[in-house]
Amino acid sequence: MSDIDLDAEKYEKHRQAGEILGQVRDEAAERTEIGTGYLEISEWAEDRIRELGEQKGVDAKPAFPVNVSVDHEAAHGAAAPDDDRTIGEEMVKLDIGVHVDGWLADTAVTVDFTGETELVEAAEQALDAALDLVEPGVHTGEVGAEIESVIDGYGYNPVVNLTGHGLGHWDQHTAPNIPNRAVDSGTELEVGDTVAIEPFATDGGGKVTQGQQEEIYSLEQEASVRNRQARQALEQIVEEFKTLPFARRWLDTSRAKMALRRLERQDVVHGYPVLQEDEGCLVAQREHTIIVTEDGCEVTTS
Q: Annotated active-site positions, please? A: 95, 106, 165, 173, 198, 287
- Does 139 belong to an annotated binding site? no
CA angle at 61 for the pair 126 and 121, rounded to the nearest 5°: 15
95 is in an annotated binding site: yes
- Is residue 277 annotated as involved in ligand binding? no
Q: Is 19 annotated to bind ligand? A: no
Rounded to the nearest 5 percent, the helix, strand and coil shares of the chain are 35, 30, 35
What's the maximum distance between 2 C-alpha atoms anywhere in the chain? 56
72 assigned to a ligand binding site: no
**Distance between CA atoms of residues 64 and 173, nearest Å:** 12
> Which DSSP string corresponds to 21-82?
HHHHHHHHHHH--TT-BHHHHHHHHHHHHHHHHHHHTS-EEEEEEEEEEETTEEE---PPTT
Residue 220, annotated ligand binder? no
106 annotated ligand-binding residue = yes
Contact 71, 91 (CB under 8 A): yes
The 3-state DSSP class for residue 232 equals helix
Binding-site annotation, residues: 76, 95, 106, 165, 173, 198, 287
Binding-site annotation, residues for substrate: 76, 173
Binding-site annotation, residues for a divalent metal cation: 95, 106, 165, 198, 287
